[in-house]
Structures are given as C-alpha cells and as structure tokens.
Amino acid sequence: MLSIIIPVKNEEAMITDCLVSARFADEIIVVDNASTDATVSMAKSHAAKIVRTKGADYSQRKNDGLKAVSPAADWVLFLDADERIGPLLRQEILQVISRRSTHSAYAIPRQNIFLGQPLFFGGWGNDYVIRLFHKPHLRYWQHPLHEEPVYTGTLGKLVNPLVHFSHRDLASMVDKTILFTGHEARLRLENLHPPVAVWRFIRVMLSEFWHRFIKLSAWRDGTRGVIDGLFQVFNMFIIYARLWELQHNPRLQTSRLIVE
C-alpha cells in the first residue's frame, strides 16, 4: 500500500493538478498549515485525508503527515504541491513497491520548470530529492528549512523525473526571497556567524556569481538561465543584508520567524 503525503499552505492554484497526478496512490494525505484559501476544500473534493498542523518548520509538517499514515501502508512518498508525477514515473514507482526492493529509500530526479521552461544548467540539471521510502525504515525528518529524512538501509535512484514548477513568475520569486532569506539569515545568526562587513557582501556575491555562471554555466539556459543566475546572486546578498540587520538590531533577534 502506498501513501502520498503533500504538505501545503494556500496552494489553490497548484493543488488540483498535483492531486490528479497522485491519485494512483492508495491514500493521499494533505498536511495543511492554516490555509486561508480554497486549498483544503479542493483537497477534500479529491478524497484526500486532511491533517491540520501548526508546524513552524517543514520537517514538522512532514512528520505530522507521517504520523497520519495508515498502519497498512508499507510505502510513503512525499510530494510538494508544485510537483507532478508523470505516467513514466508513476509506472516506475508502482514497479518498485510491487517487488521486493533492495533499497529502503529512493531519490527521484526533478525536471525544474522556471518561468514556463525547463532549466538544465546553473545547478538545476542534476537535482535529486529523496522522497520514496519503505515506511518501516523511515524514522523522521529533521531541520526546519532544508529538511532531510533520517532513515535506515540503502538509497536507490529512480530514472524518471518529477516535474517541478519552481517559479511561475518573477513576483512569486520575490515573495519567496522575502520568506526564505529571513530564515537563512536567522540560521546563520543562531550559528554565531561572524559580523557582516562590506568585504563579506562582495565576497559572497562574487562567489555565488562564479558558482552559478562559471562552474554551473547558468548562461547556457539562455535568458531564463541568466535571470535565475542573477537572482541567486541577489538572493545571497539579501541573506547577508538581513543577517547584518539582525546583528545590529537586538529587537529583531528576539522576534520569531514564521515559515510559510
């Protein structure tokens, strides 16, 4: 038996196609983090089990979903609302769970769609995410933002990709930057990052530019690749600008960051 777990918050624009691609599962669990739009009602219309969470981090949301999985389920797959399971991947997943697998977890490649077209360079071309687990071997998820699974046994790789609609427009990219850079800055503060000076801004931006454009050849994806590469440089600048702000404003240090 396969259970698919989908953490969400205000995903009415994306959840229907995600649920349609997941309907081959025996059980779909939508973990809702206080959505204020039609996400939950749309999920219910597709017979999904709804789990309410107040998880302040992404690992807690996935752990809450894992707790709600049916005792009869022996495999679990984690899916984001902006991801889709195509026919070939669906067939491959069903083959894995129907036979006696040699692995307890599987990494799945992702085809990342950026502004309507796939990206292959700039760090997007070799993107694997560990999402499919033999349930007895999955213990829990850890870390608040860049969550990682803790499991026993060995890791295999699937061949067919998840389709990931990463950024649909530039406005949503800016919105995500405001959210994620705040959390990244706070994590650095909690890890006692050295004081941010002018030279550090220059260094991290040049390092990110070299990483995206020279090492990973973001420019080879054309205009979209250049936009994304420059945005990653900008993103790094904002992280350190917000870290500087936290280091110089004790009042902000005591405020609690809410992860959307």
For the chain, list the domains and their CATH numbers: 2-166 (3.90.550.10), 169-253 (no CATH)
Please, what's the b/e burial string for 20-51 (b: 16 or more CB within 10 A of its CB; e: otherwise)?
Answer: ebbeebebbbbbbbebeeebbebbeeeebbbb
Q: What is residue 99's predicted lDDT score, i.e. its pLDDT?
A: 82
- Residue 65 half-sphere exposure toward CB, CA atoms < 13 A: 28
What does pTM read for this prediction? 0.88
pLDDT of residue 254: 63
pLDDT at 18: 97
pLDDT, tens digit (0-9, with 9 covering 90-100), for 205-254: 999 999 999 999 999 999 999 999 999 999 999 999 999 999 998 777 66
With beta carbons less than 8 A apart as the criterion, state whether 105 and 128 touch: no
Weakly modelled stretches of the chain, pLDDT under 50: 258-259
**pLDDT in the model for residue 92:** 97
**Amino acid 166: pLDDT:** 86
